[in-house]
């Protein structure tokens, strides 16, 4: 059985005042039936890691550099995230692929760096609206999955997040059939590459997940949780999503 994962990606949001949101989540979900992860800005990792020491809440980064150290002004190495208290790191988010020109080869190299630092890599993939309308979705996401995920990845060290670019922050969500079709294709790609362990990788859905649509999305086969943006910033919005996942 795959343990489900509710993950929040705070993107470029969150300062000291946001700690109370995470503490509220911890108090509400003391003994969660699912794994919990918040990925705040790097500036908040140590603070949140320390604040949640006694809780079943994981803290993660949103990106790391492929190199272990060096002359890369403004970048953060995977070991630095781990040193600050992170256990996970999001890699290849579509906003990084778009804003910073990250390729799947870059994401592959970052995933190796994350694994070297004992971080679980949350590898993001997803098609644009133009790609979906051109009927290329399954080709695009399986190629991104293949090229972004190292051969050495395992279900313990790697989580896959399917996030259609056109569904992120737009309020638009694919139909349940569309989500199911992609997750099924990703599962087949994982099992044909990684054998039995391919069945144990968690595949998250991300893109406009809210309390109001979470339960139906979590009922889709091979949806093992969610990567949530906007609705993860406030405990009152994220908590119903966690509860829906616990009940799925």
Tell me which residues are annotated as active site: 93, 163
From the list 51, 36, 34, 44, the residue with the least C-alpha distance to 14 is 44
Check residue 5 for interaction with ligand 13P (CB under 6 A).
no
d(CA 123, CA 103): 12
Please state the φ and ψ torsions of residue 21, each to the nearest 5 degrees.
-65, -45
d(CA 236, CA 147): 37
Check residue 208 for interaction with ligand 13P (CB under 6 A).
yes
Question: By the 8 A CB rule, do 61 and 76 touch?
Answer: yes
Check residue 206 for interaction with ligand 13P (CB under 6 A).
yes
* Three-class SS state of 194: helix
* Minimum gap (Å) between residue 151 Cβ and ligand 13P: 25
d(CA 74, CA 201): 32
**Of 19-27, 74-82, 111-119, 222-230, which segment contacts ligand 13P by CB under 6 A?**
222-230
Q: Which of 123, 190, 209, 220 forms a contact with ligand 13P (CB under 6 A)? A: 209
Check residue 174 for interaction with ligand 13P (CB under 6 A).
no
* Three-class SS state of 182: helix
**Of 65-73, 188-196, 203-211, 238-246, which segment contacts ligand 13P by CB under 6 A?**
203-211
d(CA 38, CA 97): 21
d(CA 167, CA 127): 10
* Residues 62-121 close enough to bind ligand 13P by CB under 6 A: 93
Check residue 169 for interaction with ligand 13P (CB under 6 A).
yes
Question: By the 8 A CB rule, do 188 and 146 touch?
Answer: no
Check residue 40 for interaction with ligand 13P (CB under 6 A).
no
**Of 66-74, 141-149, 221-229, 238-246, which segment contacts ligand 13P by CB under 6 A?**
221-229
Query: Of the two residues 194 and 217, which places its CB atom closer to ligand 13P in the complex?
Result: 217
* Minimum gap (Å) between residue 226 Cβ and ligand 13P: 8
Query: Of the two residues 77 and 214, which places its CB atom closer to ligand 13P in the complex?
Result: 214
- Which distant-in-sequence residues (6+ apart) come within 8 Å of 236 by Cβ? 24
How many other C-beta atoms can be found within 10 angstroms of the C-beta atom of residue 115? 19
d(CA 61, CA 45): 7
Question: By the 8 A CB rule, do 65 and 97 touch?
Answer: no
Q: Which of 48, 123, 229, 241 forms a contact with ligand 13P (CB under 6 A)? A: 229
* Minimum gap (Å) between residue 63 Cβ and ligand 13P: 12
Query: Of the two residues 6 and 194, which places its CB atom closer to ligand 13P in the complex?
Result: 6
Check residue 231 for interaction with ligand 13P (CB under 6 A).
yes
Footprint on this chain of ligand 13P (rule: CB under 6 A): 9, 93, 163, 168-169, 206-209, 227-231
């Amino acid at each position: 059985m795959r343990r489900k994962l509710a993950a929040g990606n705070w993107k470029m949001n969150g300062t000291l005042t946001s700690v109370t949101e995470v503490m509220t989540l911890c108090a509400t979900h003391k003994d969660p039936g699912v794994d919990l992860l918040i990925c705040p800005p790097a500036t908040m990792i140590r603070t949140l890691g320390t604040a949640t020491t006694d809780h079943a809440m994981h803290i993660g980064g949103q990106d790391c550099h492929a190199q272990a150290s060096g002359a890369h002004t403004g970048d953060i190495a995977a070991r630095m995230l781990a040193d600050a208290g992170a256990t996970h790191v999001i890699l290849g988010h579509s906003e990084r692929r778009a804003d910073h020109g990250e390729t799947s080869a870059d994401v592959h190299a970052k995933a190796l760096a994350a694994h070297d630092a004992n971080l679980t890599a949350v590898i993001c993939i997803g098609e644009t609206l133009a790609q979906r309308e051109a009927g290329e979705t399954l080709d695009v996401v399986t190629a991104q999955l293949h090229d972004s995920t190292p051969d050495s990845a395992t279900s313990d060290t790697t989580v896959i997040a399917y996030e259609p670019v056109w569904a992120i922050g737009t309020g638009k969500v694919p139909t349940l059939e569309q989500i199911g079709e992609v997750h099924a294709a990703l599962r087949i790609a994982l099992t044909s590459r990684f054998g039995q362990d391919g069945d144990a990788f968690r595949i998250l859905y991300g893109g406009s997940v809210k309390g109001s649509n979470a339960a139906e999305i979590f009922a889709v086969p091979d949806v093992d949780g969610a990567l949530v943006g906007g609705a993860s910033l406030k405990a009152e919005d994220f908590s119903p999503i966690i509860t829906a996942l616990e009940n799925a």
